[in-house]
Amino acid sequence: MFFIIPLMEVFAFIQVGEEIGVLRTLLLCVLTACIGGFLVRQQGLGILMRGRRSLLEGRMPVDALYEGFCVVAAGAMLITPGFVTDTLGFLLLVPSVRKILRIYLTRYLKVYTATNTVNEDFHRPQSRDTDVLEGEYERLDKDEDKLKNE
């Protein structure tokens, strides 16, 4: 994945550069980063307020955490120079795309956790000592304190 995306970015830069020129390509790259930064900040503040409202109402801000993660990921992609990452970043800023992605991830995680769970007892070492010891005790330090005070 880390090898494929840079190759796609280089290919996209070459294609766009041939069509509109090198200077315009670089300006477009800077422009998308600026617009993306503005949108990330705007959406991030809204998500922060919704999360805070959830906490004040006594609910876990699960939706706000997911949305916040998506917006942070979008911001990272938009800051990274390139058209492929910019496209992915802008897609993550669309609420309906985030909702579809959440549905997909939820289904995937349910299937993954259902098929890849191991019984907890499998990893627990079995104790060979089955003898039960019973007894009584008495604290001696209290008696020593009494003797010192007398």
How does DSSP assign the chain, residue by residue? -TTHHHHHHHHHHHHHHHHH-HHHHHHHHHHHHHHHHHHHHHHHHHHHHHHHHHHHTT---HHHHHHHHHHHHHHHHHHSSSHHHHHHHHHHTSHHHHHHHHHHHHHHHHHHHHHS---HHHHSPPP------------HHHHHHHHHH-
Which sequence spans correspond to the domains of the chain? 4-114
Q: Using one digit for the tens of pLDDT, what is the confidence trace for 89-121?
A: 999 999 999 999 999 988 888 876 766 655 555
pLDDT for the residue 99? 93
State which amino acid sits at residue 20.
I
Residue 88: pLDDT over 90 = yes
How does DSSP assign 72-112, residue by residue? HHHHHHHHSSSHHHHHHHHHHTSHHHHHHHHHHHHHHHHHH
**Alpha-carbon dihedral angle through residues 3, 73, 40, 22, given to the nearest 10 degrees:** 0
Q: Using one digit for the tens of pLDDT, what is the confidence trace for 20-64?
A: 999 999 999 999 989 988 988 988 888 989 999 989 998 888 888
pTM above 0.75, yes or no: no
